[in-house]
Structure 1
Amino acid sequence: MKPARKLFLGARLRRLRRDLKLKQVDMAGKLGISASYLNHLERNQRPVTATVLLRLAETFDINVRQFAAEGGELAGPDQLSEIFSDALFADLDIGRQDILDLSDHSPGIAEAIGRLYTTLTETARRQSPSDTSDPRSLITPETWVRDHIQAHRNHFPALEEAAETVGGALANRLTMIDTLCHRLRDAFGVNVEIASSTDLGGATQAYDRSRRTLFLNALLRPENRAFGLAYQLSLLEFDAILTRMVQEAAPSDEGVARLLHMSLANYAAGAILMPYGRFLESAERHGYALDPLCGEYNVNVEQVAHRLTTMGRTGAEGVPFFMLRVDPAGNVSKRYAGESFPFSHYGGTCPRWLLHLAFQTPGKTITQLIETPDGERYFTFCRTIERPIRPTLTDDHLLAIGVGCHVRHASRLAYAEGLDLAKGMATPVGPACAICPRLDCAYRATPPAGHQLAIDETRKTISPYPFLAD
């Protein structure tokens, strides 16, 4: 039996302590350990024991599973493997154990490597960065914001509490659009008008501060109008909270700050329309099925799927889902996770995951049991969604989302009823081809980095790039 890996969580302990504004001696006292022992833990000179984890949970009200999860760092083993699969490092022969040692014992250096590589790849995409006074400015805004949100497991308690108060005070869900309009008018003096797409220059919505008027695109569907109203309400209701959260995040420039502000307001809008406590109860009652939740809250599939990834309230956790959104070309435009999942940070998705099959069956939910190279199983469901507006009949208006969770949570899902989750046939999937260790995959698009090819001209194999196993 393979022994359990020791948990070296020094970087996460330091971050927790600094977030709590505690000195080492103060935190050690609260945990009932010596300051020197805590220092060893933070320097990864000692593994974190189960006893210390339980004391952390009891003392600081943290989610132990999320705190100890391998994917908690911005540059964990999977991301480092993807980085070192780059041809730039092909001659260095960096093995999996080297990567695990780096991640375990020097998480700060691992995160620095992750930032440097991200900067390198983003710089290659930008021909002439306008401002290099701050090296972080070389990372694109969407990457910076995505990493910041993921570092918080896509859950923001302050916004949840504020949005639940506002959302709970609103009237019947059937009249949500009218209710949101009244709230904007009565509390903030904001009127709402419908405008043509031409008048708005193609924008889905626009707020005119001088006229205190919110204009919504006439092409928006009702659920998208409601979300647009909730977004504007979030900007006004939670201005102080959003401003503080952005300042604390310390983004690299004004553009990143504005994108983060918008992303957090979008988060709050979803929380207003689907208040945490009520939505969690509904999700459990419906077995996390998308369509019943859409009907109950008058929202669309993407809004529900995104909301499902945010249910991480301590003591009232929902199923920790991950979610991806892709276009027909395979470009990933959203990537969220309530729990660790071996996403490819710099590439697309595995072709054996049925995410792209959704485009062939619009509106149909496709379920699949998948297994990653480490033997972990995940239950997933995929389907198409529509863009908020479709300007012309010739424009491609479909995207696809994939949602999933670890198989240990799948018994709570209506989509998994009647399936043998433990022993049923699972599709073997992997991360990006360049770092996937599977030997016999017929879908492999590129040879695996760090492995010696085993080409024999007298023998053809199912994989176009056979290689030697470790």
Structure 2
Amino acid sequence: MRRKLFAGPAVRRLREEAGWAQGDLAKKLGISAGYLNQIEHGQRPLSAAVLVELARVFKVDVSAFSENDEHRLLVDLRDALAEPILATVPTGQAELKATIQYAPGIARAVVHLQAAYRAMEDKYQALDGTLLSSEQLTARAGLVFPYDEVRDFFHRIGNYVDSLDHQGEALRAELRAEPAVLHEALIDRLATRHKFKVVFDRSLGSERAMRRLDRSTKTIAIDGYAESSSQNFALAHQLALLEARDAIDETVRHATFRSADAGAVCEIALANYFAGAVLLPYTDFLASARRHRHDLSLLARLFGTSFEQVGHRLSTLQRPKAMGIPFYFLRVDRAGNITKRHSATRLRFARYGGACPLWNVHEAFETPDRILVQVAEMPDGVRYLSLAQAITKAGIGHSAPRRRYAIGLGCELRDAGQVVYADELDITNPKQVVKIGTSCRLCERSDCTQRAFPPAGGSIHVDHDSRFVVPYRLGPN
């Protein structure tokens, strides 16, 4: 039986943003004001006819009235109210749903307030006091850095952008190019559709860019020494800026970032998203991922992409009615800094600093030719199948610098049976479980021998008559 669609909060929000009274909107829809009032208060579902009219009147896609947004807001509100300083206030499921139904603005305000609180806590408790100079503090008056604001945005939308995903997939279908000839097809598209000539920069100077556009000469220079997968990604990124500009601008506009810098960073991220959708088109890639049980190396070979590109793409497979396994994805440098992080799972990364030292993503640097597999348990009790592999992005020439990273990818253990890497583990054996945390500053585990710092806000007890691996015991918060 088809599920009834209740979308009162979305209707009321769009009406109020338009500045219309209920009677005004009711006339535009051709329904009574009483019927509209019942819709907005969750007493009547949307009929197909009214749904179509709403989309026409507000000039939005019918997906704007999906219950997915309400469900995500409910999850976010529950998570926000689980913050320790708020957890003492009991809130039941019925009360939360009522808040979403009748006061969605207040619910979003609570979620934003909790996000701001967490950002401030991370900023002042996890950052070293010398990270920011007084000049930088003056220049950055906002609470959240642009990169963090963009990362929060992608986390909020489940790391999936429907318009760009479909448009990228459609472009790949239009190109009719197998992986072996995709390179030539992308170059031809830029030449025939946009009159841009692609040249490959094989200079050895430090100024060689991965991609450089010269509008005066209608030339796109691509790093001639980059791997073919990187060259294809750069070409697809350029096509995103030329063919998906409207979708990118619309997404940035609806994100309502606090700064222009965040909007500019998001444009890059969205163009990268489009490029991933071209190189790894959703339907074909999802089918292959399922067929080959998410074997990353095999998928990279089948689609002519890199290990990193495959891992990143797996974290975006959240299309409604065709969802893949929710994965998290991160990239870590040798100092432990997380340089990329995306998650379709419940896993949260530390905003600043590195990750837990017990996480296998750090060990990957020691065994660069292997994919490491680990069952990791977060402090909330959720267990993940965690994969890690080191990669090297080599320079040109003997003395050229080489960038080394470790790629981390994982899913909740309940989905591990669909991943080939779980075959080598006894995931039911508690001895296989490694108890990790977000970061030492935010982890309250009292029995961790790798602890670098006490948790923020917690007390410690020092016993001068006893010495253990960690020279203090954690006291009550």
Same fold (TM over 0.5): yes
Q: Is the CA contact 2:384–2:413 (under 8 Å) kept in the aligned structure 1?
A: yes
Unaligned 5+ segments in structure 2 are 1-6, 23-34, 46-62, 97-106
2:135 is matched with which residue? 128
1:378 aligns with 2:380: no
Matched, 1:157 2:162: yes
Task: Look up the equivalent residue of 2:335 and give its one-letter code.
Answer: A
Residue 196 of structure 1 and its aligned partner are, at CA, apart by 2.6
Q: SS where residue 128 of structure 1 aligns?
A: helix
Shift of the 114–17 alpha-carbon distance from structure 1 to 2, 3 Å rule, reads: farther
Distance 1:404 1:97, change over 3 A: farther
1:33 partnered with 2:43: yes
User: CA distance change for structure 1 residues 97 and 141 in 2, over 3 Å: closer, same or farther?
Assistant: same
What's the % identity of the aligned pairs? 29
The question of whether the paired residues in 2 share the 8 Å contact of 1:72 and 1:340 is answered with no
Q: Is residue 346 of structure 1 aligned with residue 352 of structure 2?
A: yes
Question: Normalised by the size of structure 2, how large is the TM-score?
Answer: 0.78
Aligned to 1:460: 467
Query: Is 1:110 paired with 2:120?
Result: no
Verify the 8 A CA contact 1:153 1:337 in the aligned structure 2.
Answer: yes
Q: CA–CA distance in 1 between the matches of 2:331 and 2:14? A: 32
Assess if the C-alpha contact under 8 Å between 2:8 and 2:41 holds in 1.
Answer: no
User: 1:289 offset after TM fit, Å?
Assistant: 1.2
What is the aligned counterpart of 2:263 among 257, 261, 278? 257
Higher relative contact order structure (alpha carbons within 8 Å, sequence separation ≥ 6): 1
CA drift of 1:200 comes to 7.5
| Cα gap change, 1:204 to 1:107, in 2 (>3 Å) | closer
For the residues of structure 1 that align with 2:8 and 2:151, how far apart are their CA atoms?
22
**Distance (whole Å) between structure 1 residues aligned to residue 435 and residue 205 of structure 2:** 50
For residues 257-291 of structure 1, the C-alpha deviation after alignment (integer angstroms, 9 at most, x for no partner) is 22211110011000011111111001101111110
Cα drift, residue 190 of structure 1: 1.2
Q: TM-score, normalised by structure 1?
A: 0.79
Which of 413, 419, 422 lines up with 2:425 in the alignment? 419
Distance in 1, Cα, partners of 2:257 & 2:130: 18
SS of residue in 1 equivalent to 2:470 = coil
2:269 maps to amino acid: S
Aligned equivalents of 2:390 and 2:11: distance in 1?
A: 39
Query: What SS does structure 1 have at the residue aligned with 2:473?
Result: coil
**Structure 2 equivalent of residue 297 of structure 1:** 303
Secondary structure of the structure 2 residue equivalent to 1:326: strand
Which whole-Å CA distance do the structure 2 matches of 1:387 and 1:76 have between them? 42
Match of 2:403 in 1: 397
1:442–1:464 Cα contact (<8 Å) kept: no
Corresponding position of 1:52 = none
407-416 or 120-129: bigger deviation: 120-129
Following superposition, the deviation at residue 466 of structure 1 comes to: 1.4
Closer, same or farther in 2 for the Cα pair 1:99/1:299, shift >3 Å? farther
| The one of 232, 242, 260 aligned to 2:248 | 242
Structure 1 residues 200 and 191: CA distance shift in structure 2, 3 A: farther
- SS of 1:305 mapped into structure 2: helix
SS at match of 1:438: coil
| Aligned partner letter, 1:460 | R
2:300 aligned counterpart, secondary structure: helix
Decide which structure has the larger Cα Rg and report it. Answer: 2
- Structure 1 residue 451 displacement after superposition: 3.0
AA in 2 matched with 1:399: Y
Shift of 1:29: 1.8
Alpha-carbon deviation of 1:460?
2.2
Deviation of the 1:434 alpha carbon = 2.0
